């Protein structure tokens, strides 16, 4: 009969090498990805926070500037209230206020009827004596308090913000107000403060008022226009400061930080393109790859050498397992340098199996070693397990169990019911015992449990648990049954034979029966 073709089989060495290579590559790619994501988020967070801090700083500077401007106007208002009817002195103070600093583009005095009484610079003097109807003037006359007006378009199409202070006489009568104006589309100190954005990477700053009108923008053509469709600007009125990742009006992803000028409610927004923020990341990842690839190659060579070293004993043991029928196999297995635990255990198991193979081959049949009624091991199974434990030099404890008054069950209910009781007891034994314990039926109503590696204390605990479980379990139609148990221990270091230990367990069982049944009796060392 022709030999069947064998499929491709990879040996452990190849599998380890492939798995190690794939694992190293996966870890390397994972580290690259994680590094990229972490560094990207760090750059974004840093940019957002920097923009927020910058916007907050400009908002604070703007607020300070406006406060200083109102303070200057307050002093001038006190002076002008005393000389409102002295035209020359009124004009002189107005010019002094304009020359005092670069804070205003123009300064003027308007009386309570809205008439322009004094103005500077000289280019505006042709307006003297006229009534001013601008929104800023109407707001100042109506409010009669220190005021930063809502930005408005003047008759000359200038976008103007007017700062004003009211004038009162000694009796508290309202006389008008002193005002300084800022032309947002022309050069002034406020424009200079807001326009100094030092980044050269696509970052820019803009300022909007409460009505979403642009007060400052790098594109001068947009100053004075009303912004729509911008979620951040729509929410600025309810926010103090913060950060936001958004898309601007031309579809560019931006990292924005914003703050509010407390005295006016103006929103200052500093933002930077996302692409510019993460641009340095590409070179950073390339540097990481440049550094890590040589290390990865060295690591791969080390993994290859380790795989060869680890798999060599296993390969030699596998060759020995394929030739167990040869006389020289035992010598070859003895020469294998099993330098780690798993290889040493496999070597020992192979040597042990080689010695017992012929002797135990007939006992591996499950039908021969299994009790047909209960499914537990029979006496052959018990003898085989005892010989293995003795050959391995592994100690064990043994529990011998007998059903109390079992003859009464058979006589009173019949043998079929008696068999049913025995099968139920086998189920309870499986439930109460540990994994790895050997369960056997050694006679009619006699059972035995081997507990490999278990001391007397554990075996006694298992026996008591089993006794209570049987006692508390109703078995129809008999009702309750009880069992008596004897426990003993065999130690590999002693001279006692396993058969002697089983006899001690039997004697302990008889002692439990003599003591009244439904008990556990333990045979102590030396008994």
Chain-centroid distance of CA 74 in Å reads 58
Establish whether the linkage from the previous residue to 394 is cis, with ω within 30° of 0.
no
Alpha-carbon gap, residue 435 to 498, rounded angstroms:
21
β-sheet bridge partners, residue 483: 403
| Contact by Cβ (8 Å): 117, 111 | yes
Alpha-carbon gap, residue 374 to 161, rounded angstroms:
101
Strand extents, DSSP E, 157-289: 159-168, 174-183, 204-208, 214-216, 241-247, 253-260, 267-273
Q: In which order are the strands placed within the sheet that holds 253-260?
A: 214-216, 204-208, 267-273, 253-260, 241-247
Pairing of strands 483-490, 520-522: parallel
Angle at 119 between CA 117 and CA 122, to 5 degrees: 135
In the structure encoding, which two tokens stand for residue 406, read together?
A: 């079992």
Distances (CA, A) of 404 to 218, 288, 355, 519: 101, 77, 42, 10
In the structure encoding, which two tokens stand for residue 19, read together?
A: 């798995």
- Run of H or E including 464: helix 456-471
Alpha-carbon gap, residue 449 to 399, rounded angstroms:
5
Which of 445, 446, 457, 496 is the catalytic position? 445
Residues of 158-182 as b/e, b for ≥16 C-beta within 10 angstroms?
bbbbbbbbbbeeeeeeebbbbbbbb
In the structure encoding, which two tokens stand for residue 102, read together?
A: 């670069």
Q: If you search the block for the tokens 């002697």, which residue do you land on?
A: 500
Establish whether 345 is a catalytic residue.
Answer: no
In this structure, the chain runs to a length of: 527
User: Which residues are catalytically annotated?
Assistant: 445
């Amino acid at each position: 009969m022709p030999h069947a073709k064998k499929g491709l089989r990879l040996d452990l060495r190849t599998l380890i090498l492939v798995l190690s290579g794939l694992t190293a590559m996966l870890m390397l790619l994972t580290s690259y990805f994680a590094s990229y994501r972490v560094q990207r988020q760090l750059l974004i967070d840093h940019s957002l926070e920097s923009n927020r801090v910058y916007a907050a700083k400009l908002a604070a500077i703007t607020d300070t500037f406006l406060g200083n401007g109102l303070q200057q106007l307050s002093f001038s208002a006190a002076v002008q209230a005393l000389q409102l009817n002295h035209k020359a002195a009124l004009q002189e103070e107005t010019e002094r206020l304009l020359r005092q600093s670069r804070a205003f583009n123009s300064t003027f005095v308007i009386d309570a009827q809205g008439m322009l009484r004094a103005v500077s610079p000289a280019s505006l003097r042709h307006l003297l004596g006229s009534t001013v109807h601008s929104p800023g003037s109407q707001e100042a006359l109506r409010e009669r308090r220190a005021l930063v007006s809502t930005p408005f378009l003047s008759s000359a199409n200038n976008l103007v913000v007017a700062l004003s202070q009211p004038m009162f006489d000694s009796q508290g009568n309202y006389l008008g107000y002193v005002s300084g104006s800022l032309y947002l589309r022309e050069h002034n100190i406020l424009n200079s403060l807001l326009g100094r954005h030092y980044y050269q990477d696509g970052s820019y700053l803009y300022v909007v008022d409460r009505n979403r009108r642009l007060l400052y923008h790098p594109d001068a053509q947009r100053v004075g226009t009303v912004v729509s469709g911008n979620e951040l600007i729509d929410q600025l009125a309810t926010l103090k400061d913060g950060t936001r990742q958004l898309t601007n009006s031309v579809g560019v992803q931006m990292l924005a930080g914003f703050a509010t000028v407390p005295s006016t409610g103006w929103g200052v927004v500093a933002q930077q393109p996302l692409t510019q923020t993460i641009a340095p990341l590409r070179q950073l990842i390339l540097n990481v790859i440049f550094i890590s690839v040589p290390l990865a190659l060295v690591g791969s060579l080390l993994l290859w050498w380790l795989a060869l070293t680890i798999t060599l004993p296993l390969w030699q043991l596998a060759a020995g397992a394929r030739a167990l029928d040869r006389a020289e196999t035992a010598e070859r297995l003895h020469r294998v340098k099993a330098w780690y635990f798993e290889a040493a255990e496999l070597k020992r198991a192979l040597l042990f199996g080689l010695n017992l193979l012929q002797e135990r081959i007939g006992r591996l049949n499950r039908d021969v070693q299994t009790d047909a009624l209960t499914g537990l091991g029979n006496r052959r199974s018990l003898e085989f397990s005892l010989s293995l434990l003795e050959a391995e030099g592994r100690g064990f404890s043994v529990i011998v169990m007998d059903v109390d008054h079992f003859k009464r069950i058979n006589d009173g209910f019949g043998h079929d019911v008696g068999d049913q009781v025995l099968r139920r007891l086998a189920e309870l034994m499986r439930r109460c015992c540990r994994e790895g314990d050997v369960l056997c039926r050694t006679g009619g109503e006699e059972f035995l449990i081997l507990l490999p590696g278990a001391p007397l204390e554990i075996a006694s605990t298992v026996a008591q648990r089993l006794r209570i479980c049987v006692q508390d379990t109703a078995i129809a139609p008999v009702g309750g049954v009880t069992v008596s148990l004897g426990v003993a221990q065999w130690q590999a270091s002693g001279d006692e034979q396993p058969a002697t230990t089983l006899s001690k367990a039997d004697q302990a069982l008889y002692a439990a029966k003599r003591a009244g049944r439904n008990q556990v009796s333990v045979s102590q060392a030396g008994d």
